[in-house]
Structure 1
Amino acid sequence: MSTAAPSPARTSTAIAGFENSFAAALAPLTTPWRGADVPDPTLLVVNHHLAEALGLDSADLCTDDGVAVLSGAASPADAVPVATAYAGHQFGGYAPLLGDGRALLIGELSDAEGRRWDLQLKGSGPTPFSRGGDGFAVVGPMLREYLVSEAMHALGIPTTRSLSVVATGRNVYRDGAEPGAVLARVAASHLRVGTFELAARHSDLLVPLADYAIARHYPALAELPASGPDNRYLAFLGAVVERQAALVAQWMLVGFVHGVMNTDNTTISGETIDYGPCAFLDAYDEDAVFSSIDHGGRYRLGNQPSALKWNLARFAETLLSLLSPVPDDAITAATSALTRFDESYDRHFRAGMAAKLGLTDPAVDRTLIDELLTLMQDHRADWTGTFRALAEELRGDPAPLDEVLARDVSAPWLARWRAALSGRGVPAGQIADEMDRVNPVYIPRNHLLEAALRAATAGDLAPFERLLDAVTHPFDRRTEWSDLAGPAPASFSAGFQTFCGT
């Protein structure tokens, strides 16, 4: 995959301690590269808590040298930045070569517990994989990814995280001129199903890639044999299926619509990645689609588990030669691993819904869950607000629930719910408190996020910073954030769309 890189960027010691294990182990899947020059870098936001967790000094990141690294204009002295190659199925169609068209993997940092984290720059300029694109990004989408990824982390959902956003001082042309920006993204790794789809076409790369992924994300499996009925690659497939089933269940539990669930956006680590056309629900709607490019609703809310399972089938196909030398046996083994997805997803979703409803038994009657979802769908009840309102119902305040579901339609279901709760023998107030610990008050409401991004693009970061503060404390109701808790006006939601930002 390598090609001639541009002349080396200037180096900096503002960030140090990098390793480059992926590039060293799998050089054919990388191309050494450098970021574009940055006319006028300005640090817009930096994640001090994440920097500390990575062993970085926030003060160093805020210096001119630190900002130069975070913008891609300079490289750490001990890093070898690369653009990585991968393939992918995008909306069901196979693209044999995609790769980092506007990103650079700077290298890997280790935290205090020895865990390895990628640092990648997004929007740092064109690479050999840009496919005609300019390789740049703009302020709005990069701040969107920063805020939404940090909100997901605060909700306890596995996700890539954001270290910083730097404005570049370069105009980037989309519908018109917009201010350019670079996001520094932190991930357990950037290995994707699409990485395996590319490696599967190169027989000498598949085993090293699989062994690298196992060592990095599932080290307990590394001791298993490389062949036989219980080989490590079959266990690896099963482990990825389990993590991804758990992940998509968590998305569904918070009303998150990813929007672009292509195989190149399905991670081997089980983290959420790529926050371009994503959105959170206001009114519950299984057919909710926000992405401007998802014309057929392939990645609508209710289809997310099926879409994820389809992606995992593509992953399983890449591993067939490692599962067994006998094709029929390999297919049987892969099929068996994939069939566990549905059970795993249902188990995670059911347990999550039980907690949201104050029921500790993960074997809660699924009918009770399904009837609530039907009520919410039929009456367009606010997803996030309904569960907090149910807690207030237990505290003796019916008004919040009556605002989202009329009493005459909710009463029969409420009676069955209260009957289920009574079996716990726990005071209602205690159950309400438990519910509040898993049901957020604040999510990145679409109208609030759009308003904050417009203001930030115009130079006013205050609304963004206020919303970021709220969504990173999602369970703590505060009077000063009361205007951040409600859904968008119907006039906003009716035509709302999200975009990839490319």
Structure 2
Amino acid sequence: MPPSAAYRPSRSHAALGEAFYDPVPAAVFPKHILRWRNQRAAETVGLGGLTDAEWTQHFGQFAPLPGSFEASLALRYHGHQFRHYNPDLGDGRGFLFAQLYDAEGRLLDLGTKGSGRTPYSRAGDGRLTLKGGVREILATELLEARGVNTSKSFSLIETGEALHRGDEPSPTRSSVLVRLSHSHIRIGTFQRLAYLGQTEAIGRLIEYALATYWPQVAPGPVPALTLLAEVMAGVAKMGAQWMAAGFVHGVLNTDNINITGESFDYGPWRFLKTYDPRFTAAYFDESGLYAYGRQPSTLLWNLERLAECLMDFAPEADLVAQLERFQDLFRPALRAAWFKRLGLLPGDLDADLAFLSSLYQFLLDSGAGFEQTIFDWVGGDASRAAASPQRALYERPDFAPIRLGLETCADPAAVLPLGDGPVDLPIEDVEALWAPIAAFDDWSAFEAKIAAIRALA
């Protein structure tokens, strides 16, 4: 690959030392069929000029990118899974393939999913189904369009193996996904070091994380507190964006929360059809631990686990005081995320949040479509609402104060969504998009959906 001027590789993560990762080879796949190439993302990191053959060589056969890692790194971490600690985790079907900088100078990771077995695979085969890869592309594209800080699905290559899974018809087709992320350092990365008593390594990770991801922030007299503050701010903002997007992640384990507050690792995700705080994405979440309405408190619980790992580096009282600021971070972030989606201008925070509370109650009581309501009222313009299939709901008495708030706070510069209706992605639509791929290798419906999603941006 002749590097472009915009391509700036890095080996930054290797500087942490071998206690943080294991060099691993990629699986050798029988086929390499390029199914998804995120050209828009590739341009931001200087890889837009790759031919498809070069792309497949790097992201299907994992020939090293010039100047980055010679061997891919399976990252080490632990984590709480549904609040039960698991010390047997780690990258079990993925690795950190390369690092590079974007045009803004941010260090980014190219990480994989489905690239083969590692020392942490346990009984798994280290593979990813093609359907799983398609689902992740759909999730990341729609989340990005709805204003969520998310990893980007960078590449998807079908690999020609027949996989057996218990949660979908088998055998099913295989793939390898590459995602572009700001970081793959997780809360679980800190947990592993604390579990093993590797205090010096935690100190090194604190120093590395601050210098790498928040170089503009002075570490202060207690760097661990600075780190916790920055992680909290990013995670609170991410959680608020999920709520405004109507998104349910499904598996908010500590190994699925990275320190830069970027949503990633999409398994049994869902988007709300109607507002329901109790809605869960994972069929195995029988207690509703990770339900839509519990996501903010769950994120705080995960941040508390991070704080526990920092107790050798900061006074416990100061860590607790920092955690108590979560709502002070989350509340304005929630207002910002919702008002951006609705095309509204913010005013008094308490009044704006009271407006949102009324909107939530209306959505719950009326059964109005979550995304349809947002589509109908972006910018406070009643013209779309008048033509809406649910226009009768807007005549309810409990909607009157919401209508007033929408019209009063309308932002004249708000951009109305394109098209004749909301672009949504309920699970039924995901299945409908997958069906022609599975039956006829027909990707036209999937491609049309991506085009509709990208038109929102």
TM-score of the aligned structures, taking structure 2 as reference length? 0.90
Per-residue CA deviations over 1:156-209 (Å, capped at 9, x if unaligned) read 311111111000011111141111100011111100000010122312210111
Deviation at 1:26, TM superposition (A): 2.8
2:173 matched to 1:184? no
Partner of 1:383: 370
Distance 2:17 2:438 in 1: 39
Partner of 1:358: 344
Code of the residue aligned with 1:71 in structure 2: it is G
Code of the residue aligned with 1:386 in structure 2: it is T
Deviation at 1:421, TM superposition (A): 5.5
Q: How does 1:5-404 map to 2 (within 5 A)?
A: 18-60=9-51, 62-63=52-53, 65-76=54-65, 78=67, 79=69, 80-175=71-166, 176-200=170-194, 201=196, 202-225=198-221, 231-323=222-314, 330-355=315-340, 356=342, 358-363=344-349, 364-391=351-378, 394-396=381-383, 398-401=385-388, 403=390
Per-residue CA deviations over 1:217-274 (Å, capped at 9, x if unaligned) read 111335533xxxxx12101101111111111001000100000010001110110011
Code of the residue aligned with 1:197 in structure 2: it is Q
Q: 1:362 to 1:184 in 2, by over 3 A?
A: farther
Query: Sequence identity, in percent?
Result: 32
- Number of residue equivalences: 444
Report if aligned partners of 2:278, 2:291 keep a CA contact under 8 Å in 1. yes
Report if aligned partners of 2:110, 2:179 keep a CA contact under 8 Å in 1. yes
2:414 matched to 1:434? yes
Distance 2:392 2:246 in 1: 18
Per-residue CA deviations over 1:350-404 (Å, capped at 9, x if unaligned) read 3433452734315235333222211211222111111222349734454345616
Report if aligned partners of 2:359, 2:402 keep a CA contact under 8 Å in 1. no
Deviation at 1:406, TM superposition (A): 2.5
- Aligned residue among 442, 452, 460 for 2:433: 452
Root-mean-square deviation over aligned CA pairs: 2.5
Report if aligned partners of 2:381, 2:407 keep a CA contact under 8 Å in 1. no
Per-residue CA deviations over 1:259-290 (Å, capped at 9, x if unaligned) read 00100011101100111111111111111112
Partner of 1:463: 445
Distance 1:174 1:421 in 2: 47
Code of the residue aligned with 1:187 in structure 2: it is S
Per-residue CA deviations over 1:47-76 (Å, capped at 9, x if unaligned) read 11111111014443x11x431321245334
Q: 1:235 to 1:51 in 2, by over 3 A?
A: same
Per-residue CA deviations over 1:313-346 (Å, capped at 9, x if unaligned) read 00110011111xxxxxx22111111111012111
Report if aligned partners of 1:215, 1:222 keep a CA contact under 8 Å in 2. no
Report if aligned partners of 2:375, 2:417 keep a CA contact under 8 Å in 1. no
Residues 234-243 or 108-117, more deviating = 108-117
Q: 1:51 to 1:299 in 2, by over 3 A?
A: same
Report if aligned partners of 2:199, 2:312 keep a CA contact under 8 Å in 1. no
Distance 2:345 2:205 in 1: 42
Structure 1 unaligned segments of length 5 or more: list them: 1-11, 226-230, 324-329, 476-502
Report if aligned partners of 1:26, 1:205 keep a CA contact under 8 Å in 2. no
Code of the residue aligned with 1:188 in structure 2: it is H
Per-residue CA deviations over 1:280-311 (Å, capped at 9, x if unaligned) read 11111111112122111101000000000000
